[in-house]
Structure 1
Amino acid sequence: MSSKLVFATNNLHKLEEVNAMLNGAFELLTLEQIGCDVDIPETGETFEENAGQKSWYVYNNYNMNCFGDDSGLVVDALNGEPGVYSARYSGTRDHDKNIDLLLKKLEGKENRAARFKAVISLVLGGKEHLFEGTVEGTIRHARSGTDGFGYDPIFQADGYTITFAEMGMDEKNAISHRGRAVEKLVNFLKTQ
């Protein structure tokens, strides 16, 4: 199997996290590096559908093995919101506005249980393989920490007293939803 894989993203934060976990086992190519400047639609109603749209798009249009991911925050008291709409929850891709809206909707709610969920769709030789990772936690009342991205400043994983944004990348990757899904992906790729 080729050691080159397309990661259907141009999100440098995600790329950095995944590259750290792959530890040089595979050369990851971004959408930009393969000349794909299309904003691949994410019109699915599930993380699985959205991840698959990305990986199949690259495979079908560029004939390259590819994996795509979709992830988000699922908050129990908000019936699973923001879910697949996590990145654009406020109608924009502005992390601060998304956090502000989430905190506003949680005002007065005692149940702050939430989880991050990630699904990776790998299309390898025309066959799709799915890998899922989740991490349980709670939503803090205010931001804390400056590392990470997205909802990291308000998400505290179960068993921890700090947010994802207060963790170093290695510590976060060891327990994060994406880290768990990527670990399953890497273990699978090692068998190919």
Structure 2
Amino acid sequence: MTAQPPRRIVLGTGNAHKVVELTAILGPLLPGVELLRYDGPSPVEDGDDFVANALIKARAAARHTGLPAIADDSGIAVAALGGEPGIRSARYAGTGRDEDNRALLLERLAGRSDRAAAFVCAAVLVDGDAELTVQREWPGRVLEGERGEGGFGYDPLFVPAGDERSAAELSAHEKNAVSHRGQAFRALVEAMRERGLPVG
């Protein structure tokens, strides 16, 4: 009897940091599933919320590859800035550079005592006609300066609620266990199981 080939799912992102995180999070949850990196054209993310942008990415990856696609859209929402940078987190400073985005966030929060924030992640699956979406948050606060060498994006500025370390000071395992992205993708896999979709 021949073994069945592994089910393949494409990760709808061109962000190398996200690919590493998603592989670490999803690998144990999807045994027997081959997670492929998307290498097609980047779609225009012109949705008006995290779920809409995540679906744009997953639909584009599914169309390009003909495979089920998983994607996310995530960012940091700062209360004192009315939820900014939100869905514009990766493009906040307009340069595409994480360090510039962090610098602009610090500049706009200068002198403010209310530094409450949350990382937000919408995770989605597009599998033929089936579309599943979940969204989770990771509350915390924004520091007055960067701390830590790990992570990416706004991690050096973000201290999760109940911790004194920045997200960039957590190990990858610690971060994935509690982060917005870890929470969202664990919930997505559970939703896949509840819908009877193959998960390995």
TM category, shorter: over 0.9
In the TM superposition, residue 15 of structure 1 has moved relative to its aligned partner by 1.1
Using the alignment, how far apart are the partners of 2:62 and 2:24 within structure 1? 24
Measure how far apart 1:23 and its partner are. Answer: 2.8
Aligned AA (2:53): N
Q: CA deviation at 1:58?
A: 2.2
Q: What is the DSSP-based 3-state SS (H/G/I as helix, E as strand, rest coil) of the residue aligned with 1:98?
A: helix
Aligned partner of residue 23 in structure 1, secondary structure:
helix
Counterpart amino acid of residue 174 in structure 2: E
Q: Which deviations, in whole Å up to 9, do the C-alpha atoms of 1:151-184 show, x marking residues without a partner?
A: 0000000000100000000100011000000111
SS at match of 2:43: coil
In structure 1, the residue matched to 2:150 is 147
Q: Is the 8 A contact 2:102 2:154 kept in 1?
A: yes
Shift of 1:85: 0.5
Q: What SS does the corresponding residue of 1:179 show, helix, strand or coil?
A: helix
Aligned twin of 2:81: 78
TM superposition shift of 1:109: 1.1
Give me the TM-score of the superposition, normalised by structure 1.
0.93
- Which of 33, 43, 48 is equivalent to 2:46? 43
Instruction: State whether residues 59 and 126 of structure 1, in contact with CA within 8 Å, keep that contact through their aligned partners in structure 2.
Output: no
Partner of 1:183: 186
State the Cα distance separating 1:2 from its structure 2 match: 6.0
Please say which of residues 3-12 and 136-145 is displaced more in the overlay. Answer: 3-12
Amino acid at match of 1:169: A
Counterpart of 2:35?
28
Task: State how far apart, in whole Å, the 1-side matches of 2:76 and 2:106 are.
Answer: 13
Query: In the superposition, relative to structure 1, how do residues 102 and 164 fare at CA in structure 2: closer, same or farther (>3 Å)?
Result: same
Q: Trace 1:14-163 onto structure 2 (pairs within 5 A).
A: 14-24=18-28, 25=31, 26-32=33-39, 36=40, 38-163=41-166
> How large is the RMSD of aligned CA atoms in angstroms?
1.5
Give, in whole Å, the separation in 2 of the partners of 1:70 and 1:27. 21
Amino acid paired to 1:144: R
Among all aligned residue pairs of Structure 1 and Structure 2, give the percentage whose two residues are the same amino acid.
38
1:163 is matched by which residue type in structure 2? S
| Bigger Cα displacement from structure 2, 56-65 vs 144-153 | 56-65
Contact kept, 8 Å, 1:68 with 1:121, in 2: the verdict is yes
Whole-angstrom distance in 2 between the partners of 1:166 and 1:58? 32
Question: Which secondary structure does the structure 2 equivalent of 1:20 belong to?
Answer: helix
Unpaired stretches in structure 1, ≥5 consecutive residues: none
CA contact (8 A) 2:6 2:34 kept: no
CA distance in 2, matches of 1:83, 1:43: 13
Deviations 1:58-107 (A, max 9, x none): 22343211011100000000001000000010001111110000000001
> TM-score scaled to structure 2, two decimals?
0.89
